Chains A and B, each alone.
Chain A
Amino acid sequence: MLYEIIRFELQYRAKRPETCVYFAILFFCSLFAVNFIFEGNLSPVKENAPHIIAFTMAAAAGIFMMITSLIMGIPVLRDFDYNTAPLLFSAAMTKSEYLFGRFLGSFLILLVVFAALPLGILAGEAMPWRDAGNLLPFNAQTYWQPLLYLVFPALLYSSMIFFASSIISRKLIVVCTQGILFFIAMLLARAIEDPLLSAVLDPFGLRPLQLASQFQTTIELNSMPLTVDANLIYNRFFWLALGSLSFALAARRFNFDIVNSRTSKKHDATPDRQFQSTSPNITIPPAILCDGWTDSLAQLLSHTRFHFQIILKDMWFWVIMICAIVIVFINSINLGTTFGVDSYPTTYLIVEELQEMSIWFFLIILVFFSGELIWKERDARMDLIQDALPVSDAINLTGKFLALTCIYITLMSLLIFSGIVFQTINGFYEYEPLVYFSGFYIEILPYFLLYSFIAFAFQVMVNRKFVAYILVLLFLISTMLLEVFGFDHGLFRFGGQNLHTYSEMNGYGHFLKPYAWFKLYWLAFCIVLFVATVISSVRGIDTSIAARLKTARFRLTRPLFAAASLAALIFCMSGGYIFYNTNVLNTYFTRSMRHDFQASYENTLKRFEYLPQPKIIAANLRVDLFPARRAWRVDGHYILVNKHSEGIDKIHVQKLPDDDLAIEVLEFSEHTSADTVHKSFGHYIYDLERTLLPGDSITMRFRQTFTTKGFVESGSDLGIVHNGTFLNSDLLPTLGYSRKFELRDKGIRADKDLPPRRQRAPRNDTRELANARSGEDGYQIDLEITVITDSDQIALAPGQLKSTWEDGNRAYFHYKTKHPIIDLYPIMSARYEVRRERWLSSDSLTAEPVDLEIYHHPGHKYNLDRMMSAMKRSLDYYSTNFSPYQYQHLRIVEFPRYREFAQSLPGIIPFSEGAGFILDIDDETDVDMCFFVTAHEVAHQWWGMQLAAANVQGRGMILESLAQYSALMVLKQHFPREKIRQFLATQQDLYLKGRSRARTKEQPLSLVEAHQYVHYNKGAINFYALQELISEDSVNLALGRFLCDWGFGSRLSKGRYATSADLLHYFREVTPDTMHDVIDELFNQVILYDNRIVAAQYSKTNQDSYLVELELEATKIQVDTLGNESSLPLRNWIEVAIYGEGQEGKEIALHSERYFFDTARNSLQIALDSKPTKASIDPFHLLIDRRPENNHKTLK
């Protein structure tokens, strides 16, 4: 019998078209799966690396859970729907035979359908858009492992749960939508911090994969098979157990009867009154029928309200709502920054978080409720009554659309309310209703409305609810894919661009206008589509698309026609206007056009890269900023000097190849003739009539303008904005070839037949040794600059402010440098408030006072004291330990958060709105990162401004690692040691994550190219370790000597800039010979440790005396340039600390000492005089360890 039931199921399914459709959908989607899930940017991780395939498969099994749900949920439902249940259940068949038969039959079909997943992924590898260079050779294990550990268990447990819920609920709606719950479970799991719990609860098994691979490097990802660790096993076990349990419970509850007992009870509950009228004499009063447009409007409102109410009474709506809010509160709105410190819960940050967390819920509502609304009458079988009503189709569908809109608005309002609650809980009362409003109703509501039109259209045209669901999903995916494949012009890509980041300084700035135009354009499109939807919607019982299209003509009423025509007109006109702006006023570059341009720039002009060019020694500029119309103009001149030993005949001037920039005047003080053959690249060659002899100078006078014309499709200029202009001197004309225009991506370079590009030249490249930056135009320059801006703004540039005055509505700021500066400087302007203080060097007899100024957005006062104190303390430390500070001013200047960094330039530190001004530092629990970042940037006034590093490998070690070291020393001086430990732990985590995501081989510190995780994170750790080993004073002594020899003006005397080799030389000088190998280890090698406490216990030996016994294990691993690991003999001093309970239950160190280890396993006995609680090996994380958690053990 069981066999018979299974056979019936298989035969039945094999004949059903759905089975093939499901298979086809899965296969088709799997072709794109890897590209879609990883958004096409994996290299150098191979696209079929085991981890990638596993992740893709697990994610796809999750995404297509609806198919599982439909396949598993339908079989029992079918028996009830087609009323075959009475016939079947009376047949000679036991309950378990029936249930198992249906389940197994359906599950077998499910497995067949999901075979499309690996097949599709495999076939996808052969698709033309895939590059064999990004693929590994086929390895069966890559596929069967995830199938066995991820896909099969996921299908099995989800099948059991779906089957169970369908036999209990017997409702199609449950079957179709229950997958959402898993999705929500996944979101919940992600929000949990505890790794094990989070890993176990993720229904799709993605979290265990992420955790297992988070510190894996590219090479490990490409070579290691899927990690089947405890997390994954527990996860699979948990979900399978849950599945079996629900199946068992459901099977027990399943009554082999016909009528769902719950609903039949309901009927009995209502006593049936008879037909006879209670008041037989009543007559129905005549109805007053109205037929004006206001009456239609009233009908529309009523219809909207009606459908809105129906959805409000829908259980699923509340499930989604509640889950959304639960997620918000579980996730607790993550305001964490990369620094490991939270920001203040400012409204815009809350809005961004809420948007990110809720987007899936909106998509679920969009897809699901659009179908529900369209099918509402038919699902309730009220369609014939509804269709015979004298209501126009337009009112019917518009009412439903508005009801859906109300749903979005409800959820958004609920989210806003949660946001306000969250802010209040956190004691932050600066609510900004307008930001909330625009963040939801302007930024994301239009997006969902546009897609709702699409969903309505699909539901009506296809007229199959579930097919339409899937098509809507595919449509969503395909618009994302279009972007991945580079067809991203907002005129083609449905919906256009998202609104650009909000900034408190600049609001939505100039981004709102193009956003509004694109939305208007697509809205008009959608209205035309909606009219088409309305006139072909199903009314009555002729449902075939042919019949509907035949009558559509008659249903196009005059108002509808008028609306469609108007919308079509708006569509064309706004489209034309947008095209005029993006493609006529501005040049539109597709991604490939941009790449072609870059490639041909390099091919044509690379030969000029090291052509000797004169150097700028002075710049005198007048910069006119027009923030309101986003334009600027520079008039001025450079004085150029030939610093080479041979004469120069040709001067190459390079303008940024940006259409908005124009050089209006460019002339030299000598006769020249211009060669404009490379004009298209913005590259002009001026032939000097008289050779510029070594030491001779020449003046270059120029005027350059930047004009904003209309708006661009994307990537609009962020330099000049309404409030918060931040321009850099590299926007001005430069000399010679510009390496920064070159293509960087390895794959694209290969496509264009360009040789591989090094991020940094090797340390013996003499040409780059002479450069501090690529294509450096001047070593030291004198700058005199007048910046003119709107009178409500303050303009800033390096140098002393000589004078400032107003003329009409323009404000003038005249700056002049006292000492030469590097040839890189900013020009900034915004409506600032200023905090001013002064700092006097301890050597106050000789030094002038330094003006400390913070130019900030009026609201951003939270951390000014921290910044100010960091500036003073840094200046104290650096001027005492390294060398005196070189300027009479030091300014921190805020700029909008479109770019999130802080940067140090001569005497001026541009500091992003998003990088410290709104950090909410809790002095108890956080490291004062605002202090640290400020100290780091101030340190660059030495490392970068006083001493420039050669543009070769290891440059980052001099500039960034030394700044990290310097800041860390200031931090150490002013904060407790515990903060240092916390800081270093974060650095270690960032370093390990950074190296696992790195796309190129890892270099040791002294050869670092441009990897932040090396020069920032590892730099901080290793320099800290260095000063622990050889003492802070020794390090500072070496740095002082280094500055003295390689600082100001040494470029000309030495003929080159400093390298990391030079720096290491100074370190060796101050290090005892026996420890030179430590320097080697810290800076010239990549070393990892695996240190742990194997066992730890203590015994009380006496009153007030304790003996701690520790079993320790330490392993040292060397990673070579290919990423291969080998173990090295251990010869290290490693710190071991014992902690106990101090006052108020705080943890205090009872014992901390460095021990010399030269074997992997060691035992220690430590006598103490108070009760120990915890032991740690290497508590400060000075030895980088991928499993830092086992470095500590609670004592027993």
Chain B
Amino acid sequence: MNLSISGLSKTYPNGVAALRNVSLTISSGIFGLLGPNGAGKSTLMRILATLQAPDSGTVHLGELDLLEQKYEVRRQLGYLPQEFGLYPRISAESMLNHLAVLKGIRNTKNRREVVQAVLHKTNLFLDRKKNLGGFSGGMKQRFGIAQALLANPQLLIIDEPTAGLDPTERNRFHNLLSELAEETIVILSTHIVDDVKELCCDMAILLNGEILLQAPPLAAINAFAGKVYQKSIGKSEMPLYRQQYRVISEKLFLGQPVIHVLSDTHPRNGFRECTVDLEDVYFAQVIEQNMSRAERKYHAV
């Protein structure tokens, strides 16, 4: 089953264009939606979660029109919002149980099995009787995953899940996701490149409401193979390098700036070729887009 998005646009009343003519085709497996804060990721995710109507465009989940057949889509949907709260005075188990009923799992035995299974999966089993109000940030996030996993979702929409997690928790979360993704479309939005690198078989980069790139991470990396060079430079030299090279990233390594530049040929001058990272692809895309926008602006003037 595929999720196909075509020509999706959304402009908010205050004039911000969150999505501009976004088209994507997503199949089973984990799909990473990468983009900086404010790129329109959450808007896209909410549209896919049937919570917001686009101004134009269509979305289909298999045969289903996601914008019209909301109920049918919701029956196959698991959604973990970027930010959410929980009823404080309800235990994890009874909350999941209730949500399972609302997702249509009526058979009591089956429901109990499912709820227990997701509790085990998210390691909340021992805390299942505890009130949600007493949950820590990580536990809350796990609860969010647990509820999204109820009722065999075919489409799992996970918005910035790792934002509040520490590194170990993040790893374990990734393991869980990859386990699930075999027959499910999992859409994972994040601004952390590593999330995508580690998990996703396909990805897209979203910036200012536009898709800059859709490709499997490996293919994207390969496309840049041999084009990225790095150099350790002095702090004062930055402006100079920026003028002369297409600098895609600046990082500090032991307090010294290290820059990555994009170049079809070897720039010499102390640069050396480096292995391309997904991050380079991402920054390269972001820089390119910003430059082309700046150019467009310039031309318009």
Binding site for B on A (CB under 8 A): 266-267, 269-270, 272-279, 282-291, 295, 298-299, 302-303, 306, 309-310, 313, 376, 380-382, 384-392, 539-542, 547, 551, 554
A285 to B83, CA, bound (A): 28
Say yes or no: A547 contacts B53, CB within 8 Å.
Answer: yes
Query: A267-B134, A302-B102, A388-B79 provided; 4 other pairs, C-beta below 8 A?
Result: A277-B121, A282-B121, A284-B152, A384-B81
Say yes or no: B125 contacts A278, CB within 8 Å.
Answer: yes
Say yes or no: B101 contacts A380, CB within 8 Å.
Answer: no
Question: Contacts of A541 on B, CB cut-off 8 Å?
Answer: 46, 51-52
Interface residues in B90-121 by Cβ distance below 8 A to A read 90, 98-107, 110-111, 113-114, 117-118, 120-121
Q: B135-143, B261-269, B289-297: which lies at the A interface? A: B135-143
User: How would residues 120 to 150 of chain B score, 1 for a CB under 8 Å from any chain A CB and 0 otherwise?
Assistant: 1111111100100111101100101001011
Question: Contacts of B117 on A, CB cut-off 8 Å?
Answer: 282-285
What are 23 contact pairs spanning A and B, CB under 8 A?
A266-B134, A274-B123, A274-B172, A275-B176, A277-B123, A278-B120, A282-B121, A284-B118, A295-B106, A298-B101, A299-B102, A299-B106, A380-B85, A381-B85, A382-B87, A385-B80, A385-B99, A388-B50, A390-B103, A391-B102, A392-B71, A540-B52, A542-B52
Say yes or no: A542 contacts B103, CB within 8 Å.
Answer: no
Which of A273, A274, A289 contacts B75 (CB under 8 A)?
A: A289
A309 to B172, CA, bound (A): 34
Answer whether residue B235 sits at the interface, using C-beta atoms and an 8 A cutoff. no
A287 to B150, CA, bound (A): 8
A267 to B169, CA, bound (A): 17
A385 to B53, CA, bound (A): 17
Question: Contacts of A295 on B, CB cut-off 8 Å?
Answer: 104, 106
Closest CB of chain A to B18's CB: distance in Å? 12
Answer whether residue B173 sits at the interface, using C-beta atoms and an 8 A cutoff. yes
Which of B68, B121, B147 contacts A385 (CB under 8 A)?
A: B147
Answer whether residue B206 sits at the interface, using C-beta atoms and an 8 A cutoff. no
Question: Contacts of A269 on B, CB cut-off 8 Å?
Answer: 134
Say yes or no: A273 contacts B130, CB within 8 Å.
Answer: no
Question: Contacts of A266 on B, CB cut-off 8 Å?
Answer: 133-134
A389 to B99, CA, bound (A): 8
Write the chain B residue with the least CB distance to A555: B70
A1048 to B77, CA, bound (A): 95
Question: Contacts of B88 on A, CB cut-off 8 Å?
Answer: 380
Write the chain B residue with the least CB distance to A381: B85
Question: Contacts of B298 on A, CB cut-off 8 Å?
Answer: none
Closest CB of chain A to B85's CB: distance in Å? 3
Say yes or no: A388 contacts B101, CB within 8 Å.
Answer: no
Say yes or no: A291 contacts B104, CB within 8 Å.
Answer: yes
A388 to B52, CA, bound (A): 10
Question: Contacts of B51 on A, CB cut-off 8 Å?
Answer: 384, 387-388, 539-541
Answer whether residue B231 sits at the interface, using C-beta atoms and an 8 A cutoff. no
A542 to B55, CA, bound (A): 12
Say yes or no: B104 contacts A290, CB within 8 Å.
Answer: yes
Question: Contacts of A381 on B, CB cut-off 8 Å?
Answer: 83-85
Say yes or no: B113 contacts A285, CB within 8 Å.
Answer: yes
Answer whether residue B248 sits at the interface, using C-beta atoms and an 8 A cutoff. no
A376 to B98, CA, bound (A): 15
A1058 to B145, CA, bound (A): 95
Question: Contacts of B118 on A, CB cut-off 8 Å?
Answer: 284
Closest CB of chain B to A393's CB: distance in Å? 10
Which of A288, A376, A384 contacts B49 (CB under 8 A)?
A: A384
Question: Contacts of B83 on A, CB cut-off 8 Å?
Answer: 381
Query: Known contacts A275-B173, A288-B110, A290-B104: does B86 contact A382 (CB below 8 Å)?
Result: yes
Question: Contacts of B281 on A, CB cut-off 8 Å?
Answer: none
Say yes or no: B77 contacts A388, CB within 8 Å.
Answer: yes
Write the chain B residue with the least CB distance to A295: B106
A541 to B54, CA, bound (A): 12
Query: Known contacts A289-B103, A310-B90, A541-B51: does B130 contact A270 (CB below 8 Å)?
Result: yes
Question: Contacts of B87 on A, CB cut-off 8 Å?
Answer: 310, 376, 380, 382
A299 to B102, CA, bound (A): 6
Answer whether residue B168 sits at the interface, using C-beta atoms and an 8 A cutoff. yes
Chain B interface size band reads: 35 or more
Closest CB of chain A to B50's CB: distance in Å? 6
Say yes or no: A554 contacts B68, CB within 8 Å.
Answer: yes
A1156 to B164, CA, bound (A): 94
A1144 to B42, CA, bound (A): 85
Write the chain A residue with the least CB distance to B43: A541
Question: Contacts of A285 on B, CB cut-off 8 Å?
Answer: 110, 113-114, 117
Closest CB of chain A to B62's CB: distance in Å? 16
Question: Contacts of A390 on B, CB cut-off 8 Å?
Answer: 71-72, 74-75, 77, 102-104
Answer whether residue B151 sits at the interface, using C-beta atoms and an 8 A cutoff. yes
Say yes or no: A278 contacts B126, CB within 8 Å.
Answer: yes
Say yes or no: A270 contacts B136, CB within 8 Å.
Answer: yes
A275 to B170, CA, bound (A): 8
Write the chain B residue with the least CB distance to A557: B71
Question: Contacts of A376 on B, CB cut-off 8 Å?
Answer: 87
Which of B84, B172, B173 contacts A384 (CB under 8 A)?
A: B84
A151 to B68, CA, bound (A): 56
Say yes or no: B121 contacts A284, CB within 8 Å.
Answer: yes
Which of B79, B90, B139, B165 contacts A273 (CB under 8 A)?
A: B139
Closest CB of chain A to B181's CB: distance in Å? 13
Say yes or no: A287 contacts B52, CB within 8 Å.
Answer: no
Say yes or no: B53 contacts A551, CB within 8 Å.
Answer: yes
A649 to B136, CA, bound (A): 101
A876 to B251, CA, bound (A): 117
Question: Contacts of B151 on A, CB cut-off 8 Å?
Answer: 287, 289
Query: Known contacts A390-B103, A539-B51, A542-B52: does B152 contact A286 (CB below 8 Å)?
Result: yes
Most B CB contacts (10 A, CB to CB) among A267, A283, A289, A547 go to A289
Query: Known contacts A278-B120, A279-B120, A381-B84: does B110 contact A389 (CB below 8 Å)?
Result: no
Closest CB of chain B to A758's CB: distance in Å? 68
Question: Contacts of B149 on A, CB cut-off 8 Å?
Answer: 284
Write the chain B residue with the least CB distance to A272: B136
Write the chain A residue with the least CB distance to B143: A385
Question: Contacts of A389 on B, CB cut-off 8 Å?
Answer: 74, 99, 102-103
Answer whether residue B89 sits at the interface, using C-beta atoms and an 8 A cutoff. yes
Closest CB of chain B to A268's CB: distance in Å? 9
Say yes or no: B85 contacts A284, CB within 8 Å.
Answer: no
Write the chain A residue with the least CB distance to B68: A554
Say yes or no: A382 contacts B84, CB within 8 Å.
Answer: yes
Closest CB of chain A to B269's CB: distance in Å? 46
Say yes or no: B139 contacts A272, CB within 8 Å.
Answer: yes
Question: Contacts of B72 on A, CB cut-off 8 Å?
Answer: 390
Which of A270, A274, A289 contacts B134 (CB under 8 A)?
A: A270
Say yes or no: B50 contacts A540, CB within 8 Å.
Answer: yes
Say yes or no: B100 contacts A287, CB within 8 Å.
Answer: yes
Question: Contacts of A287 on B, CB cut-off 8 Å?
Answer: 100, 103-105, 110-111, 114, 150-152
Question: Contacts of A302 on B, CB cut-off 8 Å?
Answer: 98, 101-102
Closest CB of chain B to A235's CB: distance in Å? 38
A1050 to B152, CA, bound (A): 101
Question: Contacts of B122 on A, CB cut-off 8 Å?
Answer: 275, 277
A389 to B75, CA, bound (A): 7
Write the chain A residue with the least CB distance to B170: A275
A270 to B84, CA, bound (A): 20
Say yes or no: A274 contacts B102, CB within 8 Å.
Answer: no
Most B CB contacts (10 A, CB to CB) among A267, A276, A287, A376 go to A287
A285 to B118, CA, bound (A): 9
Closest CB of chain A to B236's CB: distance in Å? 35
A391 to B88, CA, bound (A): 22
Closest CB of chain B to A537's CB: distance in Å? 13
Write the chain A residue with the least CB distance to B82: A384
Closest CB of chain A to B256's CB: distance in Å? 34
Per CB-CB distance, the 9 closest pairs between chain A and chain B, nearest first, are A381-B85, A540-B51, A275-B172, A390-B74, A384-B81, A390-B75, A388-B79, A302-B101, A289-B104
Question: Contacts of B175 on A, CB cut-off 8 Å?
Answer: 276
Most A CB contacts (10 A, CB to CB) among B87, B144, B150 go to B87
A309 to B90, CA, bound (A): 9
